[in-house]
Structure 1
Amino acid sequence: MDNPLAAADALVAATRRARTEPVRDPKVAALALAVSANLPVLLWGEPGIGKSATLQQLAEGLGTPMETVVASVHEPSDFAGLPIVGDSPATDGVPMAPPDWAVRLARTGTGLLFFDELSSAPPAVQAALLRVVLERRVGSLHLPPAVRIVAAANPPTSAADGWHLAPPLANRFVHLHWSHDARTVARGLAGTWPAVTVPVVESRRTATALAKARGAVAGFLTARPGLAHHLPADTEARGGAWPSPRTWEMVLRLLAFHHSTGTGADALALAVVGAVGDGAGLEFVTYLENLDLPDPERVLADPAAFRLPERGDRQLAFLTAVISAVQTRVDRQRWEAGWVVLEKAVQAGVPDIAARAAMDLAALRDVSWPVPPTIGAFAEVLHLSGRLPG
């Protein structure tokens, strides 16, 4: 006899089939940028607005499996591992057995690890998740470097038995606020959902991209040192994005990937704010808009032709970018070009800014290279630091 539910199951399957189309959505682009940069992401949003569906599309775009773990229904031992006593615990110790989802990810070597309902997990479970997110370790198992981590949380007012995130856990994520668009939902239910496009890193851009990112972050934090670390006073804000050396390192990586992939400025802005918070993030984005750093590779190719920016923070950003570019590929010609750049900075009247960069450039010298005459302006400070032989 035929299965009486066969036709029903076929209709259910038909309701789930849909096509996708490219759609420009800054928040989706910000998610894809952060995931491409292998930074943990936390999506904040009300229940049922498509966070999980977007992540499934992202996993498909990456060509990688997705493992979903509902954090709120797990115990701390599910992430810290369960002790398994072996033959000689006094000699070999007691290993901590990982759960099945971690083993599957390790076996595959890649994947998207999705922690759902994070804000419904009690503090003890959040504490156990710290090691997973930061060290990528589950029990005695190390997750492969290619595994991406994404979490989702409902605001405590919407979550069942909701908790504010502990500051140490919150500070390990790029926080993105998720919302639905009624027109997107209507078109999706008609059979067409927006596609998630994964940004592609262009190898030829990476060296310049990283150099410019280092220069921008270093220049900004030199001008605004108070924003290097600021723990909010209220509990709710501590459970979100706020600036710390860890989150500024996230910004550095986001900016390098932005320059390498050509991601839109609006997506970068959302990701930066999601890393260091509204105040610091918006100020940094504004700083980037007015920075306009020259390409450090072009400067090294013709160091006599460049003009030093007039503002002090832009000068430091520019010199940091140039020295970082030399670090990515060190040879005598590029090293000597760096000294020409620094000499021009001294001639422009900013020897203190140039001296910082000179310390890093001197450390790159091969002992077989002669000391160029352009190093003379920094000879005293380099001799005192031991970076240049007497």
Structure 2
Amino acid sequence: MNDLPPDPLAAADALNAQARAWRTEPAENTQLTALALAVAANQPVLLWGEPGIGKSAGMEQLAAGLGVPLETVIASVHEPSDFAGLPIIGDDPATTGVPMAPPDWAVRLTAAGRGLIFFDELSSAPPAVQAALLRVVLERRVGSLTLPGPVRVVAAANPPSSAADGWHLSPPLANRFVHLHWTHDPRTVARGMAGTWPAVPIPVVDPARVPGAIARARGAISGFLTARPGLVHHLPADAEARGGAWPSPRTWEMALRLIATAYATGAGGEALAAVVVGAVGDGAGLELLTYLEELDLPDPNRVLADPDAFALPDRGDRQLAFLTAVVSAVQSELTRARWEAGWAVLAKAVDAGSPDVAARAAMDLAAMRDLDWPVPSGIDGFLDLLQLSGALK
């Protein structure tokens, strides 16, 4: 006589479902905050960490918090054609060309219009596959499809020492990611085994902060690279370092967007530090963070509202950073009153004996002038320069 229930695995499946159930609670977690910040800034992210420490679980939480679909692609088991697309020959290739059929995950994300694509085991993918992924990360194209702008790209990699058949990332691919080191906290794991994991914070951009945030970020990056021009581009000498974060014009633009997003969302300093270092590398990133801490730029919109109530910084690179931020703020919301207030700010540089520092900002500000606006008095110290450049007519 058979005493087995109709479905012998039903009770086991119910047990497994209960064991997988968990809840979240607010908790300080720098790496989760940094990941969410980089995703909010729409910068491709690469999570570096040993196998089995929760990278995939973090992605599932993030997708759930954002309310977007998650597509996971194991890069190491795919061929280059899986990302470049497979050719499909039509009736008349000479007339219509040969379209490249995209994979199913790209079709689903395009249909959804938003989502997260998670390329796992990136460092285990051979160089040919990494090269094919370049187009996905850089141009957001998969075969003949272009991924929608709201689709975010995240990848994960194990260090070559612990990855199966691990490869160093090629420098062109590595330089397109914000590199975040993913670690585990034993106390967090122990709490998770009890059924509670930290919640992934979702950064929310405050629209009112956006113009000032972008202006401050532009001023900071411009001033820093003026003071440290040798850090604009520095390709490391060894292969392992070239497969990580290092400074280039591309990664400085990434850092600018990350800083602006942090300012606009009010993200904490530790998360900002993680993404800045993850974009431009340890050396350049730590220097920039020190510079940002010492710079302490005021909100340029407040300065434009009352130009007489601020004091110009003493150092030339900080003056340049501040003036660049002011001009960027004027450009973001161009009115005659704000344009004239910008000249009042630049005039302080002339009064302080530093017209050369403000020269570039003056040329940018002059180029914004509506021809119906009269020439303000604050422009007097730059007349010769602007007439020579043709910016003032």
User: Would you call these one fold, judging by a TM-score over 0.5?
Assistant: yes
| Fraction of identical pairs, as percent | 75
- Out of 230, 233, 246, the residue aligned to residue 226 of structure 1 is 230
Work out the CA distance in 2 between the residues paired with 1:5 and 1:255. Answer: 52
- Out of 268, 275, 287, the residue aligned to residue 264 of structure 1 is 268
**Partner residue in 2 for 1:369:** 373
Structure 2 gap ranges (5+): none
Q: Secondary structure at the match of 2:47?
A: strand
Equivalent runs, 1:218-367 vs 2, <5 Å = 218-367=222-371
Question: What is the TM-score when the length of structure 1 is the normalising length?
Answer: 0.99
**Partner residue in 2 for 1:182:** 186
What's the offset of the Cα at 1:286? 0.7
What's the offset of the Cα at 1:87? 1.7
Q: Secondary structure at the match of 1:369?
A: coil
Q: Deviations over 1:73-119 (max 9, x none)?
A: 00001000111111221111111110000000000000100000000
What's the offset of the Cα at 1:305? 2.0
Q: Secondary structure at the match of 1:290?
A: helix
Work out the CA distance in 2 between the residues paired with 1:174 and 1:354. Answer: 33
Work out the CA distance in 2 between the residues paired with 1:383 and 1:133. Answer: 44
Matching residue's letter, 1:348: A
Work out the CA distance in 1 between the residues paired with 2:274 and 2:203. Answer: 16
For the pair 1:70 / 2:71, whether they are aligned, the reply is no
- Out of 80, 100, 103, the residue aligned to residue 107 of structure 2 is 103
Q: Deviations over 1:187-241 (max 9, x none)?
A: 1011111110111111111111111010011010000010111000000000000
- Tell which deviates more after alignment, 375-384 or 282-291: 375-384
Matching residue's letter, 1:10: A
For the pair 1:92 / 2:96, whether they are aligned, the reply is yes
Work out the CA distance in 2 between the residues paired with 1:308 and 1:294. Answer: 11
Work out the CA distance in 2 between the residues paired with 1:371 and 1:90. Answer: 60
Work out the CA distance in 2 between the residues paired with 1:344 and 1:9. Answer: 73
Question: What is the TM-score when the length of structure 2 is the normalising length?
Answer: 0.98
**Partner residue in 1 for 2:166:** 162
For the pair 1:113 / 2:117, whether they are aligned, the reply is yes
What's the offset of the Cα at 1:254? 0.7
**Partner residue in 1 for 2:176:** 172
Work out the CA distance in 1 between the residues paired with 2:387 and 2:153. Answer: 47
Q: Secondary structure at the match of 2:348?
A: helix
For the pair 1:43 / 2:47, whether they are aligned, the reply is yes
Structure 1 gap ranges (5+): none
- Out of 128, 138, 163, the residue aligned to residue 134 of structure 1 is 138
**Partner residue in 2 for 1:144:** 148
Work out the CA distance in 1 between the residues paired with 2:377 and 2:305. Answer: 19
